[in-house]
Amino acid sequence: MKKNLSPWLDQIAVTDGMLAGGVLSTAGKCLYCGDKEKYPSEKIEKLLLQYLSLHAPLPTAEFSPRWTTWQFEYGWFRFVPRPDKLLLLLVVTPGSIAARELDQFAADFLALPL
C-alpha cells in the first residue's frame, strides 16, 4: 500500500466521531483504522468488497459518482473511489466533527499524491 496513505489515514482516524475507516487496494489489501471492537477490519473489508461488487459496472458505463454516502440510524458510511482504483470507506457518527468533515476528507483522499 502507498506510503503516503497510512499517515493520512492515521491522522483522520483521531477526529471526533470517526468510528472506522479503510482503504482497499487493487491487490485486495486493506489498510484499516478505527474502533477494532465495534468495527473489526474484517467488517470494513467486507463492506469495501460489497461496494465494489455493486458499483463495478458504473465506470464502464461512463458514470461514476465522485463519492457515495450511505446514511444509517447510528452512522454514515462514505465510499470514495479513486481513478487509480483505490477505494476509501469512512464510518462516522452523525452530527460529529468527522461527519462535518466528510466532504473534506473525501476531497483530500482524491487529491492525495500516491
Check: CB of residue 60 under 8 Å from CB of residue 35.
Answer: no
Please give the average per-residue pLDDT across 69-85, as a whole number.
88
Q: What is the reported pLDDT for 55?
A: 67
Please give the average per-residue pLDDT across 8-28, as a whole number.
90
Give the C-alpha separation, 37 to 104, whole Å. 26
Q: What is the reported pLDDT for 53?
A: 77
3-class DSSP state of 64: coil
Strand 68-72 to 30-34 pairing: unpaired
pLDDT in tens, 38-68: 777 888 888 888 888 776 655 554 556 678 8
pLDDT in tens, 94-113: 999 999 999 999 999 999 98
Q: What's the whole-model pTM score?
A: 0.84
> Mean pLDDT across the chain, nearest whole number?
84
* Nearest residue to 12 via CA among 95, 65, 90, 66: 90
